[in-house]
Amino acid sequence: MTENTWAASPAATGWRQETSALGDPGSPIDLVHLARQCQGDPGLEDELLGLFTLLARSLAAQASDPCMRLELKANIAHKLRGSALAVGAGRVARAAEAIEAMARSAGGDVPDEDRTMAAIAALQAAVEEAIAYIEGLRR
């Protein structure tokens, strides 16, 4: 059986180390990583960024539901992290990973509400920053 590297943490896959050496680490989107993912096809890059924008907005809004259990928020964060990794949105991926890690550490216990809200707010901020950056690129 093959290992699912998409489900592994970014640290386990080496993603952080790889992308930190590429492009501008201060940028919300690693354009070098994106170009590599799309094999230098600008049309594909634009399409992927457009899809990420739609998906990220939707998933971040879903994760913000105060009535949703942390486990479900972690599932949403996992989807968002995968999408973020594909386009090089490192801050979004790290914020999503923090929510996944929080759910793993809670292990079914009632999570700390303030900590959960702070993690969701960080995810929202990272998503908004990435989307604003993408929209700036597309003008």
- Contacts (Cβ under 8 Å, ≥6 apart) of 62: 68, 76
For residue 17, is pLDDT > 50?
Answer: no
Higher pLDDT, 113 or 25: 113
Averaged over 23-36, what is the pLDDT? Answer: 85
Averaged over 40-64, what is the pLDDT? Answer: 96
- CA torsion 102-67-79-13 (nearest 10°) is 0
- Quote the CA–CA distance of 133 and 118 in Å, as a whole number: 22
The predicted-structure confidence for 84-114, as pLDDT tens digits, reads as follows 999 999 999 999 999 999 999 887 777 788 9
Query: What is the pLDDT confidence band of residue 25, given thresholds at 50, 70 and 90?
Result: low
Averaged over 24-48, what is the pLDDT? Answer: 92
Whether the CA torsion 50, 20, 22, 136 is positive or negative: it is positive
For residue 31, is pLDDT > 90?
Answer: yes
Look at residue 83 in the predicted model and tell me its pLDDT. 97
Buried b (16+ CB within 10 A) or exposed e, 4-29: eeeeeebeeeebbeebeeebeeebbb
**Does CATH place domain 25-138 in 1.20.1050?**
no
- Quote the CA–CA distance of 132 and 53 in Å, as a whole number: 9
Region of poorest pLDDT, from 46-60, 78-92, 110-124: 110-124
Look at residue 138 in the predicted model and tell me its pLDDT. 85
Look at residue 111 in the predicted model and tell me its pLDDT. 77
